[in-house]
């Protein structure tokens, strides 16, 4: 009989995640219409995942993270200077289709504020830095996204951006799980039962991440079929972005002298986009039809696979001095 342990789950997490992905695709093929109902479970599953992830980050360390000015500077430079320049270059390879270009810009210009914390933690980056920076990232993208869309596509495109999806995501995926995690840590510091609960929650990040992957793939895979021809153009764009941005972040982090944990966190932020947050906005775009949501969904699928690669690749890309010496 095989005994499952926390270390065993973490050791085999990539295999577990790929199994969840294939299970999600299988559900999508057999569930057909009912798979659309799974969309309502994406945010609750993400919120639960982020809650158990936040529990792994001591809340007392967040104040120190907020004073890490060098990291915040690097984060803003990478996400709001380097990313727009790279994306502007990449969309030149898309067909002259404003809706298609709008969808790609919508998702690639918005840095992730939710499960990037999870993958940064799994990839041995400084998750508390990303966690502390989420309000900054949210506010900056809300202010700058209409400006970039206006510059790249015109004023009509900029007017389609709404604040409500961003605010809802921040409240339910960041604020509520963060407060619950803080309350759990407070309880654990004062009561034995709270300590036991906190310890039990430490088992859940890997299973919950697998659940999120299963739900996302099961829910969103059918969206792609209706616009498969246009969607196909975006896949190489997303792959190129996923490869390029951690390398750009590595260069910026090295230039600004970030430590290893901060450098890894920066690389994860650079490559991880706000696809699940902007998906409701994509569905709400007037006249967008199936195309805009399908393009955003496709980025989600590419990114989730990329994140599984990042968990292994980014720690090798951004190494400690000791790790470099062993090569």
> How distant is the alpha carbon of residue 144 from its chain centre?
19
Per domain, the residue ranges of the chain are 13-23+36-318
Cα separation, 55 vs 219, in Å, equals 28
Which of these ranges, 16-20, 206-210, 220-224, has the smallest mean pLDDT?
220-224
Asked if 310 contacts 119 with a C-beta cutoff of 8 angstroms, the reply is yes
| Residue 312, CA distances (Å) to 115, 124, 296 in order | 17, 9, 25
pLDDT at 157 > cutoff 90:
no
- Of 248, 243, 267, 242, the C-alpha closest to 127 is 267
The pLDDT-based confidence of 7 (bands split at 50, 70, 90) is confident
Q: pLDDT (tens digit, 9 = 90+) per residue, 36-55? A: 677 788 889 988 988 998 88
pLDDT at 91: 95
pTM of the model: 0.85
pLDDT at 21: 85
Average pLDDT score, the chain = 86
pLDDT at 304: 85
pLDDT at 185 > cutoff 50:
yes
pLDDT at 259 > cutoff 90:
yes
Torsion of CA 251, 253, 256, 258, to 10 degrees: -150
- Of 89, 90, 45, the C-alpha closest to 299 is 90
Average pLDDT over residues 196-204: 92
Which of these ranges, 24-38, 92-106, 192-206, 252-266, has the smallest mean pLDDT?
24-38
pLDDT at 107 > cutoff 60:
yes
Largest CA distance in the chain: 63
Query: 13-23+36-318, what's its fold?
Result: Na+/H+ antiporter like fold (1.20.1530)
304 Cβ contact list (under 8 Å, min separation 6): 21, 213, 216, 217
Cα separation, 322 vs 108, in Å, equals 35
The percentage of the chain sitting over the pLDDT mark of 90, rounded to a whole number, equals 43
The pLDDT-based confidence of 325 (bands split at 50, 70, 90) is very low
């Amino acid at each position: 009989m095989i005994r499952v342990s926390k270390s065993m789950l973490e050791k085999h997490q990539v295999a577990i995640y790929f199994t969840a992905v294939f299970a999600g695709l299988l559900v999508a093929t057999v569930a057909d219409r009912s798979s659309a109902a799974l969309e309502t479970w994406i945010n609750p599953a993400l919120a639960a995942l982020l809650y158990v992830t936040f529990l792994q980050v001591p809340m007392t360390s967040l104040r120190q993270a907020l004073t890490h000015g060098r990291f915040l500077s690097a984060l803003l430079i990478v996400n709001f200077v380097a990313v727009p320049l790279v994306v502007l270059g990449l969309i030149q390879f898309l067909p002259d289709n404003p809706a298609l270009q709008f969808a790609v810009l919508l998702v690639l210009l918005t840095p992730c504020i939710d499960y990037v914390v999870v993958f940064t933690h799994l990839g041995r980056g400084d998750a508390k830095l990303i966690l502390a920076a989420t309000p900054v990232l949210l506010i900056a993208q809300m202010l700058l996204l209409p400006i970039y869309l206006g510059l790249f596509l015109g004023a009509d495109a900029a007017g389609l951006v709404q604040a409500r999806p961003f605010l809802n995501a921040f409240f339910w995926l960041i604020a509520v799980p963060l407060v619950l995690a803080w309350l759990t840590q407070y309880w654990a510091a004062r009561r034995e039962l709270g300590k036991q609960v906190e310890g039990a929650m430490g088992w859940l990040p890997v299973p919950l991440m697998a659940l999120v992957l299963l739900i996302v793939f099961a829910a969103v895979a059918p969206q792609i079929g209706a616009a498969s021809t246009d969607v196909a153009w975006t896949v190489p764009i997303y792959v190129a972005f996923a490869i390029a941005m951690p390398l750009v972040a590595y260069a910026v982090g090295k230039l600004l002298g970030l430590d290893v944990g901060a450098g890894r966190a920066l690389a994860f932020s650079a490559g991880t986009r706000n696809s699940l947050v902007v998906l409701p906005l994509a569905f709400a775009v007037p006249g967008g039809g199936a195309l805009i949501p399908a393009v955003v969904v496709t980025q989600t699928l590419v990114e989730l696979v990329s994140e599984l690669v990042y968990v292994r690749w980014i720690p090798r890309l951004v190494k400690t001095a000791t790790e470099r010496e062993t090569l």
